[in-house]
Amino acid sequence: MRVLGIESSCDETGVALYDTERGLLGQALFSQIDMHAAYGGVVPELASRDHVRRLLPLVRQVLSEAGCGPEQVDGVAFTAGPGLAGALLVGAGVGRSLAYGWGVPAVAVHHMEGHLLAPLLEEDGPAFPFVALLVSGGHSLLLEARALGDYRPLGESVDDAAGEAFDKVAKMMGLGYPGGPRVAALAEKGQAGRFRFPRPMTDRPGLDMSFSGLKTFTLNTINDLGGAEALSDQDRADIALAFQDAVVDTLVIKCRRAMEQTGGERLVVAGGVSANRALREKLDAAMAKRGVRVFYPGLAYCTDNGAMIAYAGALRLVAGEHSGLPIAVRPRWPLAELAPLPA
Ligand code: ATP
Ligand code: MG
Ligand code: FE
């Protein structure tokens, strides 16, 4: 079965074609980052309008690169939530309509299920059940994935998401958006030990997380040095390293606890922050000690992309799930509301 996947939940337009026999046949991604940069963040109305401009040309490009005509597409998957309402409506409207026009089924995909399943696109990906840490721009979640659609929440951030904290710290130091990769690059040049940031919510039991206090701690550190303008390159690098170490250690501690609590042997880490090299190194080391294997998406599939939506949609279509004709999106949609598919 060949499934066209469409992602448009925020500021990336992603399209991909996934074949359940042959794997990924083609994909294309357009990032609107440059367009929103001037405003210091994503402007929802601009995002929707740009998805309108990009989507059909990207669909044509992916089909042509895959050497496929529309008659060779067996289903269409689109992100139906969570995300920006207008942006979601563009992808859902185009996806649902293409499926109708081509006479094939459509399926609505949960964006976070897309992230969650992205490591399964890799060769030798994990089998269910597994524990997952989803760390992205809008979510920090720990859950137990027992089967497709069967996700038991274990913990979540009570305030900012991990990626959001990276973005805000980057903004404080004038590094631009998205902050994750820039803070990570700066941290490479940082001196360990100059600053020590707290590891929030690790001194008491539980799997919930909090990252907003770290952001305040970072701001206070910057102000103690005379404010953002007074920082030297070395100051910035040292702060980036201290901040990243704190986030990474916190996530490692929470993952260790989650594996202890569930007795699981496989850990999936996905979402934009899973691209972070320091996180991967420390987590791999900590989990290897426990005999737990960690699975990540390929670096290109950590942040938003069409491939993860095509893949999640393909699994659901193969299991017999179809979405009806109405074009519906859910800007707010807890992952735990998904249900296991009927056997
Ligand atoms: P959500 O998936 O929760 O709706 P989103 O789609 O905006 O949010 P993603 O595309 O999964 O989030 O990830 C983007 C986030 O990942 C940004 O916050 C970005 O700063 C962060 N990020 C990307 N690369 C890295 C990195 N190397 N280190 C740390 N953070 C990173
Ligand atoms: Mg994005
Ligand atoms: Fe995302």
In degrees to the nearest 10, what's the CA dihedral of 92, 97, 99, 100? 140
CA triple 259-343-109, angle to 5 deg? 70
Phi-psi category of residue 283: left, alpha or beta, with phi > 0 → left and psi -120 to 50 → alpha: alpha
245 is in an annotated binding site: no
Residue in 167, 159, 77 with CA at minimum distance from that of residue 113: 77
Note the pLDDT of residue 39.
87
Q: Is 136 marked within a binding site?
A: yes
At residue 81, the pLDDT reads 98
pLDDT band for 178, please (50, 70, 90 cuts).
confident
pLDDT, one tens digit per residue, over 11-29 is: 999 999 999 999 999 999 9
Q: Which residues contact 338 (CB under 8 A, 6 or more apart)?
A: 110, 113, 149, 150, 151
What is the CB < 6 Å shell around ligand 1? 10, 83, 111, 115, 136-139, 163-164, 166-167, 178-181, 184, 271-273, 275-276, 303-304
Asked casually if ipTM beats, i.e. exceeds, 0.85, the reply is yes
From ligand 2's centre to the CA of 12, what distance in Å?
A: 5
pLDDT tens-digit readout, 261-290: 999 999 999 999 999 999 999 999 999 999
Structure confidence at residue 68 (pLDDT): 97
Give the other-Cβ count within 10 Å of 221's Cβ.
Answer: 18
* Distance, CA of 78 to CA of 106 (rounded, Å): 8
The tens digit of pLDDT for each residue in 102-125 reads: 999 999 999 999 999 999 999 999
Q: Would you state the pLDDT for residue 276? A: 98
Which of 302, 305, 332 to probe ligand 1 with, by most ligand atoms within 8 A of CB?
302
Smallest CA separation from ligand 1 atom 13, residue: 272
Average pLDDT score over residue span 238-255: 98
Q: Which amino acid does the sequence have at 261?
A: Q
Structure tokens at 45: 């109305």
Task: Using the mean position of ligand 3's atoms as its centre, give its distance from the Cα of residue 82 in Å.
Answer: 9
Give the pLDDT score at 280: 99
pLDDT of amino acid 343? 76
